Every structure is written in C-alpha cells, then in structure tokens.
Amino acid sequence: MARTGNKNIQAKLVLLGDMGTGKTSLVLRFVTGKFLEYQESTIGAAFFTQVLSLNEATIKFDIWDTAGQERYHSLAPMYYRGAAAAVVVYDITSMDSFLRAKKWVLEVQRQANPTLIMFLAGNKADLEDKRKVGSEEGEQYAKENGLVFLETSAKTAQNVNELFYEIAKKLAKAS
Ligand code: GDP
Ligand code: MG
C-alpha cells in the first residue's frame, strides 16, 4: 500500500475518571493485550507509551493514566493540560462514576486546551447484569457535549482497540 504523506505524530493522551472504573485495565489491555482481575490501584499516575500505525499516520501515544482518587485531584491539571486527547472513563455498573465522569468532562472543557479531543468510555460492558447506566444515557450525554462515545470492556477487550484507533484517527485528522 502506498504510504505517501505518512505523518509521524506524538500525542499526549490522558485517562480520567473515578478510581476503579478500569482506566489502568484499559491501558494495559491496549498496551499488553492482557487483563488482570486484581489490578493494583494506581498511585498518583502511571505512564505508558504505545505506537499505533494507520495508513495515513503513525501515532506515538504518551499515555498518562491518572489515579482518580479525590486526594490526587489537584494533580490532574498537570496531566490534562497540554494533552491532545482525553478519555474520561466511567463504570456502567456505577451511576456515581457516571456523575463523576460528567464532572471531569466539565473540568477539562473549562481548563484544558480547546483543541483537546475528548472521548467518553463506559467501561465494564461485560457486566450487563449489573448495569446501572444505560447505553442511551452515555450516548446522549456524549452527543450533547461533542464527545466520542464507546462502551468498552477491558476484560473481554470489547471496543478497546477501537477506542484507541478512533483516538488515533481523530489525532491524525487534526494534525
Ligand atoms: P482504575 O482505578 O480506573 O485504574 O481501575 P482498574 O483498572 O484498577 O480496575 C479496577 C477493577 O475493575 C479491577 O479489579 C479490574 O480487574 C476491574 N475491571 C477493569 N476493567 C474491567 C472490565 O472491563 N470488566 C470487568 N468485569 N472488570 C474490570
Ligand atoms: Mg488505575
């Protein structure tokens, strides 16, 4: 395949959302292809890199996986300022985590770079029997706020690569 005009893009990506929603699990699924039932809580933030190749561009992600606890909240701007993309994660089995996700969206919209591309991920989509947040609710909120929305499962890998491909495609388009 012709690769004329192939761009190399380095992009800072930040994951935000309540503790326990699966941020680390999503990143590890994307970076290592694996899932752990007993994922240790992130302290402060963790850093990962991953390269994704599209036809039109190669994206090198610098991923900041934040902790999500209230006591680390004051650190969050350090991670989302200067980020090209953010993924706000909630857990479909927790209405609280969805409400917190909305707060993150507002905060980032107010304070981050206006060109930042934001995604909303309703994670743990494998736990359908424990669902508390309807797909339509997530979808509707995302639509109203100009976010790309996906329901994901770090456990089954549902929509995980799709999420990062969507991010890469949007970044390639914007660059
Ligand atoms: P974080 O605090 O947002 O980084 O969340 P973690 O990645 O540490 O995950 C918290 C817990 O939820 C861990 O026990 C994970 O194994 C579990 N978990 C994460 N993603 C999923 C998922 O998609 N489905 C299910 N069933 N459990 C998940
Ligand atoms: Mg974590």
Is beta strand 85-91 parallel, antiparallel or unpaired with respect to 7-16?
parallel
Ligand 1 centre to CA of 24 (Å) is: 7
Ligand 2 centre to CA of 77 (Å) is: 17
| 39, 42, 94, 155, best to mutate for ligand 1 pocket (most atoms within 8 Å of CB) | 39
Whether the CB-CB separation of 21 and 91 falls below 8 Å is answered with: yes
Whether the CB-CB separation of 51 and 168 falls below 8 Å is answered with: no
Ligand 1 centre to CA of 4 (Å) is: 40
Cα–Cα distance for residue pair 100/89, rounded to 1 Å: 9
Ligand 1 centre to CA of 127 (Å) is: 11
ipTM of the complex: 0.99
- Over pLDDT 70: what percentage of the chain? 97
> What pLDDT was estimated at residue 43?
87
Residue minimizing CA distance to atom 25 of ligand 1: 124
Q: Which two tokens stand for residue 55?
A: 């036809």
> What pLDDT was estimated at residue 15?
97
Q: Which two tokens stand for residue 112?
A: 């981050």
> What pLDDT was estimated at residue 5?
63
- Coil, strand or helix at 14: strand
Cα–Cα distance for residue pair 141/144, rounded to 1 Å: 5
Residue 133 CB contacts under 8 Å (≥ 6 apart), including other chains: 90, 92, 93, 94, 95, 98, 122
Which CATH code is given to the segment(s) 7-174? 3.40.50.300
10-residue mean pLDDT profile of the chain (175 residues): values are 73 96 97 92 92 95 90 87 96 98 96 92 98 98 97 98 97 93
Q: What is the pTM of this model?
A: 0.95
Contacts 24+ apart (CB under 8 A), 99-103: 100/17, 100/18, 101/17, 101/18, 101/21, 102/141
Ligand having the closest approach to the CA of 19: 1
Residue 29 CB contacts under 8 Å (≥ 6 apart), including other chains: 35, 154, 157, 160
> What pLDDT was estimated at residue 84?
97
Per-residue pLDDT of 60-91, as tens digits, reads 999 999 998 777 888 889 999 999 999 999 99
